[in-house]
Amino acid sequence: MRFAVIVFPGSNCDLDMYYAVKDELGAEVEYVSYQDTSLDRFDAILLPGGFSYGDYLRSGAIARFSPVMKAVVAAANEGKPVFGVCNGFQVLLEAGLLPGAMKRNEQLKFICRPVTLVVENNETMFTSSYRERQEITIPVAHGDGNYYCDDETLVQLKQNNQIVFTYKENINGSREHIAGITNKEGNVLGMMPHPERAVDEHLGSSDGLPLFKSMLKEWRERNAITS
């Protein structure tokens, strides 16, 4: 399985994502520039955190128009897994690949600490290695992580089981404590916490590693490949 880590001007978690895949998962991974226009050679697309284009206008608003985003949308439409973390989640929202929007944290302060998440849906290609309602420890690092959607969208998210992760406690004002959602098809995931920073106990937690293992397991099963 070959992963692409998209690098925008201002990305600063691309190294974390790269080494989570390469060193901890043991899969193939490459950095891909925001200027590239094809992702055909990759099986999964990863959008890392950071401050793409300095977060001017809105977080992710400019990155959404980068040349590579047409290829990201195409990959999502083909059913390939597309995973955005923090700023990557914001980019996916701005691109319309996920519903809703991000606001400033309720406290109007940057939050950077480990938090407890609840796995609300363990039947996705990203979460099958977790238990339902499992509590995991994953760090957050964001100032614009307050997820918002209107009432109609919230109903749809619940009906389609698209809410994948929630915060155990209200950390930033996100509606219904939402920390991560998928698209209706289930192959695009966005989340504010950073699982790539929780793939080894030396980092304080390895609770993020099963997410990457789930993606690899799904790909192997889909392609009838055994380890």
Which sequence positions are flagged as catalytic?
Answer: 86, 194, 196
3-state secondary structure of 67: coil
Q: 216 is written with which tokens? A: 């690899």
| d(C-alpha 74, C-alpha 88), whole Å | 16
51 C-beta neighbours (distance < 10 Å), count: 20
Q: Supply the DSSP symbol for 199.
A: S
Number of H helices, E strands in the chain: 5, 11
Say what the alpha-carbon torsion angle 185, 96, 197, 144 is, to the nearest 10 degrees.
Answer: -140
